[in-house]
Amino acid sequence: MSSTANIQFCVQAGGKLQGEHRVAGDKSISHRALMLGALAEGTTEVTGFLEGEDTLCTLAAFQAMGVNISRPAATQVIVHGVGLHGLQAPKQELYLGNSGTSMRLLSGLLAGQAFDCTLTGDSSLSRRPMKRVSQPLALMGARIDSTETGTPPLHIHGGQNLQGITYAMPIASAQVKSSLLLAGLYAQGTTCVIEPAPTRDHTERMLTGFGYPVQRDGQKACLQGGGKLTASAIDVPVDISSAAFFMVGASIAEGSDVLLRHVGINPTRTGIIDILRLMGANLEILNAHEVGGEPVADIRIRASRLRGIHIPEALVPLAIDEFPVLFVAAACAEGETVLTGAEELRVKESDRIQVMADGLNTLGINAKPTPDGMIIQGGQLRSGTIDSHGDHRIAMAFTIAALRAQGEILINDCANVATSFPNFVSIAQTAGIGLETKTV
């Protein structure tokens, strides 16, 4: 559970990033490893697991449903699967903290169970829209109750006979796609999801790795209900969303030279690499190989002069979680950067368009929010105090901004950094950022 204390980041201006680092494991893959491992037959060993608050909420939820999960080490998890129909009714509500991934994916997974269940979250998660999953799940026969505005808590009624559907998503969302595919495991017939643009495909890859066939044709993914999952060992790569902060930091801070080890470079997640290269970043992909069906590589980044660009809309879904720190890159670039087609950013842990624009304006940057993006004029970052609104990626993005600021940056409400990147502070300090924390 996230702390209610106000953790403040105090970041000194200037500095450069150096050294080799292996940052946090991939959160998306860690979530899915727990879920599919729990539903598989046999024992799944997960290495490189992200020990963040979000993933620990997923872990606790499955333990509450009778799954035996042990943790020999912080980044190692052993899941004793109970099969697709072996989950037990939890004795109380399942609290999922700040994790939208947990709530949306579990909505699909639990829609096919025999028991009722209620999903709750913290104040931030309780404001996030869930109709995007509950409505298509209802087309499959699921019964999910929410508030009048479609927000949590979600009351999922068990014992429903789900039917496969073909669903064309109005908005590209890996969470919606994954939720429907997980419900499809329990549905009669075929479940197909059609994306308007590519999104991360970790669910499809991992289902295949667990022996459950997924047919993919362009931006359409289909599976048949009624199969089974077979346990499989999983080595979780580094989360490119976490690596992104140091990729941007090394790009904007003069004299920086950083090597990030074992980073996941799934082609549905590499928008950050493509966008930084378009801006002129000095970025090399080294030692590329595959681990458990997921492509990984080492990434070397050296400082460079970035230039403003019009970000191609085709890259937006491939970098949706990385835009807070990409806005910092844009603030340090020469000229104007324009983002369009990213309205999804307004319904993340915070309204990331408005919150980032407000913060950049506070630091002296001309950043104009638009309904679906932002227009940023590169300039000189000043000192200032930022409200992260409890959003982990906002807090980390403005930590990186201090590398190019004229004075200290204070960032309030940073406790939720632990949801996705629990060792961010220590790695940032080791890499060369003058970051201290205090409780206020």
Residue 420 has pLDDT above 90, yes or no: no
How large a percentage of the chain has pLDDT more than 70? 99
C-alpha–C-alpha distance, residues 201 and 294, integer Å: 10
In the chain, the percentage of residues whose pLDDT exceeds 90 is: 94
Strands 409-412 and 435-439: unpaired
Measured CA to CA, the distance from residue 344 to residue 372 in angstroms comes to 8
Question: How many angstroms separate the CA atoms of 370 and 338, rounded?
Answer: 10
**CA 301 to chain CA centroid, nearest Å:** 22
Q: Is 298 helix (H, G, I), strand (E, B) or coil?
A: strand
Average pLDDT over residues 18-34: 95
Q: Which two tokens stand for residue 51?
A: 């020990």
Q: Residue 382 is which amino acid?
A: R
Annotated catalytic residues are 321
Say how many C-beta atoms besides its own lie within 10 A of residue 5's C-beta. 11
Task: Give the pLDDT confidence of 256-265 residue by residue, as tens digits.
Answer: 999 999 999 9
Q: Is the pLDDT of residue 195 over 50?
A: yes
72 sits in which H/E element: strand 68-73
Answer yes or no: is pLDDT of 1 > 60: no
Residue 148, number of CB atoms within 10 A of its CB: 5
Residue type, 428: A
| pLDDT of 291 strictly over 90 | no
The pLDDT of residue 2: 41
3-state secondary structure of 428: helix
Strand boundaries in 107-231, DSSP class E:
117-120, 143-145, 154-157, 166-168, 190-194, 215-217, 220-224
Q: What is the predicted pLDDT for the residue at 293?
A: 81
Is pLDDT of 207 > 90?
A: yes
Whether 238 and 244 have beta carbons less than 8 Å apart is answered as no
| pLDDT value at residue 4 | 53
Q: Are 35 and 62 in contact (CB under 8 A)?
A: yes
Q: Tell me the pLDDT tens digit for each residue of 358-378.
A: 999 999 999 999 999 999 999
Query: Position 228: which residue type?
Result: K
Mean pLDDT of 149-173: 96
Distance in angstroms (rounded) separating the CA atoms of residues 417 and 120:
20
> What's the gap between Cα 219 and its chain centre?
20
The CA distance from 406 to 408, in Å, is: 7
What is the pTM for the complete model shown? 0.86
pLDDT at residue 3 greater than cutoff 80? no
Maximum distance among all Cα pairs of the chain, rounded to whole angstroms: 61
Which tokens go with 318?
A: 């491939």
What number is the average pLDDT over the span 325-337?
Answer: 98
Q: How far is CA 344 from the centre of its chain?
A: 13
Burial tier of 434 (Cβ tally within 10 Å: 0-12, 13-18, 19+): middle
Place 418 in a pLDDT band, splitting at 50, 70 and 90. confident
Instruction: Check: CB of residue 84 under 8 Å from CB of residue 65.
Output: no
Structural domains of the chain ordered from first start: 7-17+268-282+305-439 (3.65.10.10), 27-227 (3.65.10.10)
Which of helix, strand or coil describes residue 335?
A: coil
Q: Which residues lie closer than 8 Å to 30 by C-beta, 6 or more apart?
A: 46, 49, 50, 52, 55, 236
